[in-house]
Amino acid sequence: MGDFGAAERRILEFMSKGTEFVFNGKGYTVMLSGKPTCHKGEPKTDIYILAESCEDEVEIKISYKKENADFIENKMSAERAEQLFGEDWIDIIEHSTTAIQDKFYERMLIYKNGFRRTEKGSITLGWKFELLNKSGGDLSGKMLLTDEQVVDVYAGSNLSPDKKNASVCGQIIRDSGVANYILMDENVHSAQDVIDKMIPIREYVMMHPDIYFACKALNYRTFAEKWDGNRPLSVQVNWDAINNRLVPELIFDKPLIVKGDEVAERLIHYMRKLNIRTTEDIDEDNSGTDKIV
């Protein structure tokens, strides 16, 4: 199955109104199904199904993921972090990054030469933050979360009200955006197949209790005089001019609050003060760090 949207639509087609399936040993008929939507961003539920039997009705709210999907969240912002982790999000991220702070302190910050995937002339502004379902790269670690918090991340329990109480087929349905099942199988051929292959999120978390984070550098490219946008940074490099030297300080306690533009503008300000335009102008007289390659 190539296209993700097409796979979602196909599942919804199986679940059209009037479709019958067996769930927990009882026969159900679909009363309503659709993709929950909200004004901005997305709810966690991709496929919402309301079905009834002779005795009761069930809400099945499926978060659909491709089997090879690594990312849980890749462009993490402060707003999104609060929605995923709740009100302690700053502490949660800070504890996770400081747990591997030695790795950050080992990183090169000024690239007079190209190194691995970092282009020549780069100066590091800080590191963006991504959530993955497996470890990824050098600056990666396990998120320090309880099982309940992991359930919240997958289900979307902390989402803003408009994402939780999403719109399905034009009507706002309470908690329709909070998922209770996960489906990671692309080979589904019927409504019954969907029901048989979906896994309750709590069960999924018992099998996959770990969520990982990865930090990817945001660099100022001195030759191009550019950086890749105003991205929120989990760890920032606070550049300063001390005794006529360009000196970095790593900041861990303002995760995702300080962004790329602010850090870049500060760096450029001090580079100008020291008559540095590109990394070629950096030498032992004006550099206050040994993290140079």
Which amino acid, 208?
A: H
Query: Do 7 and 42 touch, CB atoms closer than 8 A?
Result: no
Structure confidence at residue 138 (pLDDT)? 85
Task: Report whether pLDDT(1) > 60.
Answer: no
Q: In the predicted model, what is the mean pLDDT of the chain?
A: 93
Label residue 4 by pLDDT band (50, 70, 90): low
Structure confidence at residue 2 (pLDDT)? 45
CA distance 192 to 188: 9
**How many CA atoms are closer than 13 Å to the CA of 171, on its beta-carbon side?**
7
Average pLDDT value for residue range 182-195: 92
- Contacts of 247-252 with C-beta under 8 Å, sequence gap 24+, read 247/288, 247/289, 248/109, 248/288, 248/289, 248/291, 250/101, 250/104, 250/105, 251/126, 252/94, 252/97, 252/98, 252/101
Provide the Cα torsion 278, 279, 284, 287; round to 10°: 80
End-to-end CA distance of the chain: 44
CA distance 91 to 113: 36
CA distance 121 to 163: 42
- Say what angle helices 147-155 and 78-85 make with each other, to 10 degrees: 120
Average pLDDT value for residue range 219-245: 97
The share of the chain scoring above pLDDT 90, in percent, equals 81
Structure confidence at residue 72 (pLDDT)? 77
Provide the pairing of β-strand 57-64 with 47-52.
Answer: antiparallel
For residue range 105-161, what is the model confidence (pLDDT) as tens digits?
Answer: 999 999 999 999 999 999 999 999 999 888 888 899 999 899 999 999 899 998 889
pTM attached to this predicted model: 0.83
- Contacts of 249-256 with C-beta under 8 Å, sequence gap 24+, read 250/101, 250/104, 250/105, 251/126, 252/94, 252/97, 252/98, 252/101, 253/90, 253/94, 255/78, 255/81, 255/90, 255/93, 255/94, 255/97, 255/129, 256/76, 256/77, 256/78, 256/81, 256/93, 256/129, 256/232
Which amino acid, 52?
A: E
Structure tokens at 231: 């991205």
Structure tokens at 219: 């660099």
Average pLDDT value for residue range 82-89: 88
Average pLDDT value for residue range 251-277: 97
- What residues pair up with 239 in beta bridges, in sequence order? 248
CA distance 191 to 14: 5
